[in-house]
Amino acid sequence: MSTPDSGPLTGIRILEVGTMLAGPYATMMLADLGAEVTKLEPAGGDISRKVSDTYFASLNRGKRSVRIELDSDAGQAELGELVSKSHALLVNLKPSAIRRLGLTYDALRRWNERIVCVAITGYGLHGGDDPAFDYVIQAAAGIAALTGDPAGPPTLPGYSSADNSTGLTAALGLLAQIVSGRGGQIDVSLYEVMLSQLNYHAAAYLNGGKRPQRRPFGAHSYYVPAQIFPTAEGYLALFVTHDGFWKSFATEAGIDGFERMAERAERRDEVLEVVTTALSADTAANWEARLRPLGIPAAAVREMPEALEASPEAVVTAGEYRLVGSPVRIPGYEPSYGPPPRLGEHGGAATD
């Protein structure tokens, strides 16, 4: 049982056969909350070890590492022993590799009837082995087509949104099944996760045939004004979602009219023209300083180094690495951010 200053997942033991990002990110989030996470790594280790030390550390802090050859009889015996003492196993590999290495619930239930097995794949455990890296999924699911200026090519966010989102979804599924008290197979695919994140776009199309439209400056489909705007210096993100926000903003910016949301949506081009003109009178930083005290959602566009410098509380130390810490804040609990493990540091062939 956890104590007030221990993590909510203290005592939960999770095995990970993870590569690169989605799987390791999922289990790192759980490790930050107190779970004991053990990476099961082949002779060469998780391939992300070869990307860079900081890349590996950003996804694997606070874990254990056991070197194990899962395609050998000895490795399978060791896997069974580890499974018998664990609550869950999370894997992200191709479906054929997951089955070949015996990493499904059907293969492992003989060792532990209550083991929760989570498979992260591109298109589902029964969806085949087609290549399914983050950017490929964003293209296939319609994300890239919605991103960027409509006068330019489709584009992608500057980070791995599909992998990160799928990792979080997989962690949710893993915890839900543990809470149920039953073992079983959880199947999470990058493709379906990204389709689900299109929620209101998909609903508008499925229920009314409305195709999503890529708009300049990332403008929102429904809310006006809600997008990036140029200013006298820099760019400002402004997100006016209801008439109260508009009233406060319009008063501060010296704009008349357009009091109702429906009117602003219907007269989108006119609204954007007057807002753009008004915002051009001051800098993005000054607009943020003026609008924030009024409760209006607005922020100057910053680069990542600036955001990190403005958020020192988000940066933690894990061994020799400075990293962004857990976003889950729990009163009375402070995560212990251990270093990323050395390959085979906690047992297996690497220490023989």
* Cα separation, 322 vs 18, whole angstroms: 22
* Cα separation, 316 vs 337, whole angstroms: 8
Q: Which two tokens stand for residue 106?
A: 């059907």
The H-assigned helical ranges of 86-187 are 95-100, 105-108, 134-140, 161-180
* Contact indicator for 283, 231 with CB cutoff of 8 Å: yes
* Cα separation, 111 vs 287, whole angstroms: 61
Structure letter (DSSP) for residue 227: E
- Residue 169 to residues 133, 189, 197, Cα–Cα distance (Å): 17, 9, 11
* Cα separation, 139 vs 167, whole angstroms: 19
Q: Which is the catalytic residue, given 163, 187, 269, 282?
A: 163
Long-range CB contacts for residues 216-221, cutoff 8 Å, separation at least 24: 216/149, 216/150, 216/151, 217/149, 218/147, 219/272
Strand partners, 229: 236
Strand partners, 185: 117
- Active-site residue flag, 163: yes
* Contact indicator for 26, 292 with CB cutoff of 8 Å: no
* Cα separation, 350 vs 238, whole angstroms: 53
* Cα separation, 8 vs 335, whole angstroms: 10
3-state secondary structure (DSSP) of residue 67:
strand
3-state secondary structure (DSSP) of residue 120:
strand
Strand partners, 226: 239
Q: Which two tokens stand for residue 181?
A: 């008290």
Find where tokens 């929620």 sit. 199
* Cα separation, 162 vs 194, whole angstroms: 6
CB atoms within 10 A of CB 178: 19
Active-site positions? 163
